[in-house]
Structure 1
Amino acid sequence: LAATVHVGDPTYYQGLQEECDADYDAVLFELITGEENLREGRAPESTREGARDDDGDEDEDDDDRNRRDPFLPQLAVALAPTPDARRLADTHFLVPQLDALDLCGDNWYVADMPKQELARLQAEAGEASRVVT
């Protein structure tokens, strides 16, 4: 688990990107965005030696290795930071997270609900929506 900030030093984001791309089969990140920015994700393939299947056995079946079940969504497009995030970053000589991290990588997955679902749930609960449209 790695906590990230919305604005930071470029070297911080570079190190985080390199670690996540090299060391993890799946990187889950929070991001509320529209469904139009998402695509169906596929379960990651394990790159670890000695990967185990559901029974705890070595995964030796080629069909199992090549099968990739539906999983969490992935970003379909690179997103830009808001003008406020850019101003905040510029004020402190930093960069916005969305400019520094490639969240569209093969092993990066959106572990959050789409903004349309959030707005619907807020409406059902009688809450005022604070989702930016």
Structure 2
Amino acid sequence: MNLRVKELTGGLPVSVNSECCASRGILEHVTSRWAVLVLAVLLDGTHRFSELRRAVGGVSEKMLAQTLQTLEQDGLVHREAHAVIPPRVDYTLTPLGEEAARQVWALARWAESRVPEVLAARAAHAEAKAARADG
């Protein structure tokens, strides 16, 4: 472990399986439902808050604001406020954010492509559970 990593982690192990590893919080942030979708939209380039809200169906203003703030704190999203009237704020991915976005977007695309299999598995599981309850 290099000196900077040791300093930032307090010497704790950097392993997602370790209970106290900071990577768990990072993983939680980038894999939340809204973060995955926001990161995916930002892969297309810079967007304003209202554009993100329209692009990410079902997200409330509050959740979008919280998600963007978390992603900004983690260094994944850059927020640029322009001193104009009306106020304008643009959001873009940082290089770190682009890397994370590509990873979670691949998982999201996999989920889209496997909807039929997952729904079939759920139905089969429900049928088997109902059969066990009846028998």
TM range (shorter): under 0.3
Structure showing greater relative contact order (alpha-carbon pairs closer than 8 Å, 6 or more residues apart): 1
Normalization by structure 2: what TM-score?
A: 0.26
More helix by share: 2
Normalization by structure 1: what TM-score?
A: 0.26
User: Between Structure 1 and Structure 2, whose CA radius of gyration is higher?
Assistant: 2
